[in-house]
Amino acid sequence: MRTVSRRLASIIAALMAVAVSGGLLVGSASASGPGSVATSSYDDEIAAAEQSQADNQQSLDDLESQMEDTDAAIVEANRKLQELQDKLPGLQQQLDLAQERYDAAVLQQQIVADKLAAAQAQDQALTDQISKDEDRVGTIRQAIAAIARDSYIGNDITSLGVVLGAQSSDQFVADYAARDAAARVQSNALAEMEQITAVNRNRETRQTAVRQEIERLKLEADQLVTEAESAKQEAADKKAEVESALAEQQQLQSYLESQRQSFMDQQAQIEADQEAVRQELRDLLAKAAAEDAASSPTPIGIGVLNFPTKVPYITSSYGMRYHPVFHYWRLHAGTDFRAYCGTPIYAAASGKVLWAKYRSGFGNQVMLNHGTFNGDSLATSYNHLSKFAVSAGQYVLQGDLVGYAGSTGSVTACHLHFEVYVNGNTVDPMTILGPVP
């Protein structure tokens, strides 16, 4: 518990520092304006920080008081369980984000793979078309070469050759038609070849761009493989962390549940022992009251007792208390004061020391009998002391040292558990204690 207190105290101090610095900044920014605005803002920041610190400290004090009489191992297990329960939502969120990153990487991989496949298909289609057209160009070139070859070996089909070589008008017409057809074929072939060549040049330009895109997509695909593997590993690590935290949470819950019955049995024994102490006190007070005929005419009320510490700071009040681990209510029969180990503890009123010894649950306890007030007996006890400053039978005055604060008995940290008894029954000390010094 002290470790938790120190950790939260550090956080509170940091928050207060931020709040104070924020107040100073506000003050500086407002220096050119009305001074009262800057001062008011600064004072508000300080007051808010102090209130936040007080609230957090009270929460710590309440938790320590609620866990009083609890075994240290149970306290530590509960602390770890609370830390895990606070940590798990964040871990789950990190896992979800890691999984989303991995899913996004896989999706992007698929998109890039589809783009790459489409680009490669386009490249292949261009290659096939260029190859097909090149075959066509080859065929055209062969045809043109044949025409040229026929012309070269004497198969002259020029206009003059047709006129001079014709034997008849029919032959002339036929020869002229053949010459004209050959000329058109040659002209069309040349035009087609030029067109195919121009188209293929355009295809080759497009293919160069497509192949550059393919290389870029391959690089992106390689990068995405690395990113996806990293995301996959991160998701696996976060999943393992969440599963480990859940397993530890289950283990701690099982442990606390296994300790419940033994703890409840222990509490029943402690409460029985404490009740036996109070019954012993009742018997002694009844006997003392019978022997002492004198009685103060004043009723027992506020101001009869002084605070048992020089700087009283209440960490837990009298009343019903809820145990945060085992979830049950029980009476907290006194008032707890913050008192670090070794803090002097003083008699709340003059009286006789009935005993100064170790009592089950209470630890080292000093019990004082303050006599009777208007027929009602009054006693006080100072519990969990580290050592005594008085002994049984001794008479002490109000404000005398009776012992030093400690953590004996069923407690988790040094403090003073102060009980007040009227006619042997516990009452709220705040109904009898005087004003805070």
Residue 33 domain-assigned (yes or no): no
Average pLDDT of span 338-357: 96
Average pLDDT of span 235-241: 89
**Do the bridges between strand 401-405 and strand 344-346 make them parallel or antiparallel, or are there none, so unpaired?**
antiparallel
Same domain as 327, residue 231:
no
Does 223 score more than 70 pLDDT? yes
At 135-151, the pLDDT tens digits run 888 888 887 887 777 76
Same domain as 120, residue 254:
yes
- The larger pLDDT score, comparing residue 187 to residue 431, is at 431
Average pLDDT over the chain reads: 79
Which secondary structure element, helix H or strand E, spans residue 422, and what is its range? strand 416-422
Residue 349 domain-assigned (yes or no): yes
pLDDT at 426: 95
Same domain as 357, residue 209:
no
Does 45 score more than 70 pLDDT? no
**Which residue in the block uniquely carries the two structure tokens 């709340």?**
348
Look at residues 319, 313, 307, 437 and name the one whose alpha carbon lies nearest to residue 380: 307
Residue 62 domain-assigned (yes or no): no
Same domain as 244, residue 362:
no
CB 415 within 8 A of CB 339: yes
Cα gap 150→145, rounded to integer Å: 9
Q: Which of 221-225, 427-431, 433-437 comes out lowest in average pLDDT? A: 433-437
Cα gap 79→87, rounded to integer Å: 12
pLDDT at 157: 47
Residue 323 domain-assigned (yes or no): yes
**Which residue in the block uniquely carries the two structure tokens 């805070």?**
436
Q: Could you list the residue range(s) of the whole structural domain that residue 399 is in?
A: 292-431
Tell me the pTM: 0.50
CA of 301: how far to CAs of 38, 239, 304, 394, 427, in Å?
A: 47, 62, 6, 25, 11
Does 68 score more than 80 pLDDT? no
Does 413 score more than 60 pLDDT? yes
Residues 6+ apart with CB under 8 A from 261: none
Q: Which two tokens stand for residue 279?
A: 């019954």
Residue 22 domain-assigned (yes or no): no
At 153-188, the pLDDT tens digits run 655 544 445 445 545 666 555 555 666 666 777 788
Q: In this structure, what CATH number is given to the domain that contains residue 408?
A: 2.70.70.10
Same domain as 225, residue 129:
yes
Q: Which of 27-36, 297-306, 393-402 comes out lowest in average pLDDT? A: 27-36
CA of 357: how far to CAs of 35, 354, 371, 420, 428, in Å?
A: 61, 10, 21, 18, 24
Which secondary structure element, helix H or strand E, spans residue 335, and what is its range? strand 335-337
Residues 6+ apart with CB under 8 A from 263: 70, 71, 74, 326
3-state SS of 361-417 is CCEEEEEEEEEEECCEEEEEEEEEEEEECCCCCCEECCCCEEEEEECCCCCCCCEEE
Residue 195 domain-assigned (yes or no): yes
pLDDT confidence bin for 391, thresholds 50/70/90: very high
Same domain as 301, residue 270:
no
Q: Which two tokens stand for residue 140?
A: 């055209």
Q: Which two tokens stand for residue 74?
A: 């149970």
Same domain as 138, residue 236:
yes
Share above pLDDT 90 across residues of the chain, in percent, rounded to a whole number: 30
The CA dihedral of 263, 264, 266, 269, to the nearest 10 degrees, is: 170
Same domain as 115, residue 255:
yes
Task: Give how many domains the chain has, as a whole number.
Answer: 2
CB 357 within 8 A of CB 364: yes
Residue 258 domain-assigned (yes or no): yes
At 256-292, the pLDDT tens digits run 887 777 777 877 887 888 888 888 888 888 887 766 6
pLDDT confidence bin for 248, thresholds 50/70/90: confident
CB 182 within 8 A of CB 149: no
Q: In this structure, what CATH number is given to the domain that contains residue 161?
A: 1.10.287.620
- The larger pLDDT score, comparing residue 240 to residue 163, is at 240
Same domain as 310, residue 341:
yes
**Which amino acid does the sequence have at 56?**
N
- The larger pLDDT score, comparing residue 35 to residue 111, is at 111
Of 224, 241, 274, the position where a domain reaches its end is 274
Same domain as 215, residue 119:
yes
pLDDT confidence bin for 363, thresholds 50/70/90: very high
Same domain as 317, residue 200:
no
Sign of the four-CA dihedral 190, 192, 197, 198: positive
Cα gap 182→151, rounded to integer Å: 11
Of 274, 300, 326, the position where a domain reaches its end is 274
Cα gap 90→77, rounded to integer Å: 21
Does 9 score more than 70 pLDDT? no
Of 246, 274, 302, the position where a domain reaches its end is 274
Same domain as 230, residue 97:
yes
Residues 6+ apart with CB under 8 A from 55: none
Residue 417 domain-assigned (yes or no): yes
Look at residues 61, 47, 50 and name the one whose alpha carbon lies nearest to residue 5: 61
pLDDT at 292: 66
CA of 59: how far to CAs of 53, 160, 220, 324, in Å?
A: 10, 121, 55, 13
pLDDT at 144: 80
pLDDT confidence bin for 333, thresholds 50/70/90: very high
